């Protein structure tokens, strides 16, 4: 997950500060030197870092901090606010034309994830009860049209195509007419990318822009290319005046600098981030939540939204009651795995919990269909009593479970450990939620 090492480093800096009690100007300067290094190492543009540190410093060596009894908390708060500001302040929402369809032009280099992002966006709009139409305008990349058609079928969104022998400008124009005729309120036009920015690409995009007057021009950039993605955004923005950026592959091992620098360098807000290859792996970008994640304060709001999207509320309530009263059994675990799976990869969910990167061992939990099948086999090999009472699972019983479910004893042991970890996580989760809702949330 992006930001992991940045988050770790920043949290170390702040915990050192916390240990000091009252702070001197030197303490703050020293901490900010480390913050500066951490940001540079995360591949944040150096000019952005310089300005950021200057701003934080100006506020952090003020009287408010130095005379406070909880200065470290105030410093973290200042960093949090400035980081949020740097990434755009507040969420930048998708445009909505009052003369539908709202036209969204998707642009970007080849491989950035443009076609995938087009389909993800269409899915998101469909879920919000819109009637999106996708248009296949990438006539150069082999199989791009087919790819969009396959995705369209999967998410149940119509795809407008005219093959690869018609110019993208014509395709876009015809798609717009089609959307008008068929009552589609959003038109998402996937365009062709190139390996590098070149004149013919820009010309073509300008012509499409002329022809369909998009309400949004969204640039799709790959977070894994770090600073390069920021440069790409700058070039596109100069030529096309973008309305927003979709930063993809933030689930990968990128250092995350692009997410922090894009807005500051280009003036163009990030509107969405791609968190995986699956269709549901697109999240609206909330600067304040992202800052909070980077500072290890978690992102309970996104977590709650995800939960509301995918989870059966009645079942969740019952589950919560069980966890509180320690009735949580292996059968519930299976059920829970199914529910959690709907929210997305578990490691991403864990990343949203406050202090998540301190929860050792949690990172190894993977929920996929194959593993779910194996786990189900283990649970089904248990007797009724064993399912209710994990303490009964002595080594000899575990051996029997392994034989019964076609797993090795190690695998059975690993699963039982996961079960314990999950119980711990859910306990932490439910105690954080408390009767009055989530704790630790601001605003
Ligand atoms: P295009 O050439 O810009 O249209 O790129 P594609 O949409 O075909 O995407 C290129 C590759 O990146 C594909 O293998 C996608 O599955 C993958 N991809 C796209 N978005 C994401 C993302 O957010 N996370 C990850 N891990 N992979 C992604």
User: Which carries the bigger pLDDT value, residue 27 or residue 430?
Assistant: 27
CB 260 within 8 Å of CB 42: yes
Q: Is the pLDDT of residue 141 over 90?
A: no
Instruction: Give the pLDDT of residue 443.
Output: 32
Which atom of ligand 1 sits closest to the CA of residue 110?
2
Instruction: Give the pLDDT of residue 34.
Output: 94
Helix, strand or coil for residue 104? Answer: strand
User: What separation in Å is there between the alpha carbon of 112 and the centre of ligand 1?
Assistant: 6
Is residue 222 very low, low, confident or very high in pLDDT (cuts 50, 70, 90)? Answer: very high
E-only strand ranges, 275-380: 282-284
Candidate from 113, 247, 279 with most ligand 1 atoms within 8 A of CB, to mutate: 113
249 lines ligand 1 (CB under 6 A): yes
Candidate from 146, 248, 279, 280 with most ligand 1 atoms within 8 A of CB, to mutate: 248
Reading the block at residue 121, the tokens are 């966006």
277 lines ligand 1 (CB under 6 A): yes
Instruction: Give the pLDDT of residue 24.
Output: 87
In sequence order, the 6+-apart residues with CB closer than 8 A to the CB of 27 are 17, 20
Instruction: Give the pLDDT of residue 313.
Output: 64
Q: What are the C-alpha distances in Å from 120 to residues 116, 156, 278, 409? A: 6, 11, 8, 40
Which atom of ligand 1 sits closest to the CA of residue 108?
3
CB 92 within 8 Å of CB 285: yes
Candidate from 277, 280, 347, 348 with most ligand 1 atoms within 8 A of CB, to mutate: 277
pLDDT, tens only, 313-368:
676 667 666 666 556 788 877 777 777 666 666 667 667 766 655 555 555 555 56
Domains and their CATH numbers in the chain? 4-86 (1.20.120.140), 102-297 (3.40.50.300), 301-433 (1.10.260.30)
Calculate the average pLDDT of the chain: 85
235, 238, 244, 246: CA torsion to nearest 10: -10
Rounded to whole angstroms, the Cα distance separating 32 from 34 reads 5
Q: Please provide the distance, in angstroms rounded to a whole number, between the alpha carbons at the two ends of the chain.
A: 27
Instruction: Give the pLDDT of residue 362.
Output: 54
> What is the Cα 16 distance to its own chain's centre?
29
Instruction: Give the pLDDT of residue 304.
Output: 67
DSSP annotation of 269 reads: P
Pairing mode, if any, of strands 282-284 and 159-160?
unpaired
CB 282 within 8 Å of CB 274: yes
């Amino acid at each position: 997950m992006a930001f992991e090492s940045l988050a770790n480093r920043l949290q170390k800096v702040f915990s050192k500060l916390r240990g000091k009690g009252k702070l001197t100007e030197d303490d703050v300067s020293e901490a900010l030197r480390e913050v500066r290094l951490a940001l540079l190492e995360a591949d944040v543009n150096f000019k952005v870092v310089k300005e950021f540190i200057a701003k934080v410093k100006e506020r952090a060596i003020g009287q408010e901090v130095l005379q406070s009894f909880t200065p470290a908390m105030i410093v973290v708060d200042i960093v949090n606010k400035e980081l949020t500001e740097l990434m755009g302040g507040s969420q930048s929402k998708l445009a909505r034309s009052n003369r539908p369809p709202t036209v969204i032009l998707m642009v970007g280099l080849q491989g950035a994830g443009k076609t995938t992002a087009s389909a993800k966006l269409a899915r998101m709009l469909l879920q919000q009860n819109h009637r999106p139409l996708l248009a296949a305008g990438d006539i150069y990349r082999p199989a791009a049209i087919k790819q969009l058609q396959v995705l369209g079928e999967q998410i149940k969104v119509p795809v407008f195509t005219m093959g690869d022998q018609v110019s993208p400008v014509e395709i876009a124009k015809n798609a717009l007419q089609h959307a008008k005729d068929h009552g589609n309120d959003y038109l998402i036009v996937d365009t062709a990318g190139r390996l590098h920015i070149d004149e013919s690409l820009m010309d073509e995009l300008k012509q499409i822009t002329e022809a369909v007057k998009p309400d949004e021009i969204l640039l799709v950039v790959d977070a894994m290319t770090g600073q390069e993605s920021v440069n790409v955004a700058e070039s596109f923005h100069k030529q096309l005046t973008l309305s927003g950026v979709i930063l993809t592959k933030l689930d990968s091992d990128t250092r995350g600098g692009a997410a922090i620098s894009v807005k500051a360098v280009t003036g163009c807000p990030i509107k969405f981030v791609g968190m995986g290859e699956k269709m549901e792996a697109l999240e609206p970008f909330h600067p304040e939540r992202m800052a909070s994640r980077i500072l290890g304060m978690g992102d309970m709001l996104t977590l709650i939204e995800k939960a509301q999207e995918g989870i059966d509320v009645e079942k969740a309530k019952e589950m919560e009651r069980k966890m509180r009263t320690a009735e949580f059994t292996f059968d519930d675990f299976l059920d829970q795995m199914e529910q959690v799976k709907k929210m997305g990869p578990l490691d991403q969910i864990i990343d949203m919990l406050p202090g998540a990167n301190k929860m050792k061992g949690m990172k190894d939990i993977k929920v996929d269909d194959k593993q779910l099948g194996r786990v189900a086999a283990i649970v089904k090999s248990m007797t009724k009593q064993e399912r209710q009472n994990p303490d009964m699972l002595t080594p000899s019983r575990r051996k029997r479970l392994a034989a019964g479910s076609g797993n090795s004893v190690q695998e059975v042991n690993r699963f039982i450990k996961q079960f314990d970890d999950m119980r711990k996580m859910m306990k932490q989760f439910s105690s954080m939620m408390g009767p009055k809702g989530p704790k630790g949330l601001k605003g």
